[in-house]
Amino acid sequence: MTFTSLRLPTPTLHGRIREELRERILSGAWQPHDRVPSESALMAQYGVSRITVRQALGDLESARMIFKVPGKGAFVAEAKPFQELGRLQGFAEAMGERGHETFNRVLRCETVAADDTVADRLRLAPGTPVTHIRRVRYLGREPVSVDHTWLPAELGERVVREDLATRDIFLILENEGATPLGHADLALGATVADAEIATQLGVSVGSPVLHIERLTSDREGRPIDFEHLYCRSDSFQYRLRLQRR
């Protein structure tokens, strides 16, 4: 029996350069706003043409890892702000720990009849009154997500009396609602921005957005907060660490 060896594809020159530069950024060897070596320096270092270097730098710029200043060169960009999904935290709570300023634009706050999906998630009968809150979450001056939240009416009535422009619903539930949180179940997927979400997030219609469905329960396991989150992926990240058991 004979065996045929498999030959792995050889990385392109610009791909190899891109990955080496990328590793220096991710490892922290280059800090935000550090100047990237000039095109001429990279040409000399790698023995390649200017077009090859420009391809590598162009890939990093498209990934928002570097930015260019006309007449001055390329510089390392600030890392995207991120929230750890492994911790049950509100958006403002998580971003505040990292020194980021946040605020919310409240679009809707009303009592509605629970449809079949909301009723099922919150373990209510269809048609039961629930509180629906819709917000655009801002990080600095940039919108990063559109959040739909449904709460049982008795909790929702307490929540809407508070300052939803600056406070997380999670903290309001725990402090004013005296409802300690227990756990949350999440489902993540990709979708595209319709006209309404595109306008609220400042992206083009049809742009890819991250969709998160989250159901949060109290310490007794009672579901109390059902959400749909539509998040920009170009200026914000969610991260999750997984452990092998």
Low-confidence ranges of the chain (pLDDT < 70): 1-11, 79-86, 90-100, 236-243
Give residue-wise pLDDT tens across range 11-69.
688 889 998 998 888 788 898 889 999 999 999 999 999 999 999 999 888 777 888 98
Q: In this predicted structure, what is the pLDDT of residue 225?
A: 96
Q: In this predicted structure, what is the pLDDT of residue 6?
A: 46
Pairing of strands 129-139, 208-218: unpaired
Residue 197 sits at φ, ψ, to 5 deg, of: -65, -40
Number of Cβ within 10 Å of residue 81's Cβ equals 18
Q: Which two tokens stand for residue 113?
A: 């009849």
Long-range contacts of 153-156 (CB under 8 A, 24+ apart): 153/111, 153/128, 153/129, 155/131, 155/179, 155/224, 156/111, 156/130, 156/131
Alpha-carbon gap, residue 202 to 205, rounded angstroms: 9
> Which domains, from first to last, does the chain contain?
13-76 (1.10.10.10), 82-239 (3.40.1410.10)
Any residues with CB less than 8 A from the CB of 111 and at least 6 apart, and which? 129, 130, 131, 132, 153, 156
> How many Cα atoms are found within 13 Å in the side-chain-facing hemisphere of 18?
19
Cα distances (angstroms) measured from residue 65 to each of 55, 61, 73, 189:
14, 6, 14, 24
Mapping DSSP to helix (H, G, I), strand (E, B) and coil, where does residue 106 land? Answer: strand
The DSSP secondary structure of 177-221, one letter per residue, reads S---EEEEEEEEEEEE--HHHHHHHT--TT-EEEEEEEEEEETTS
pTM for the whole structure: 0.66
Q: In this predicted structure, what is the pLDDT of residue 139?
A: 82
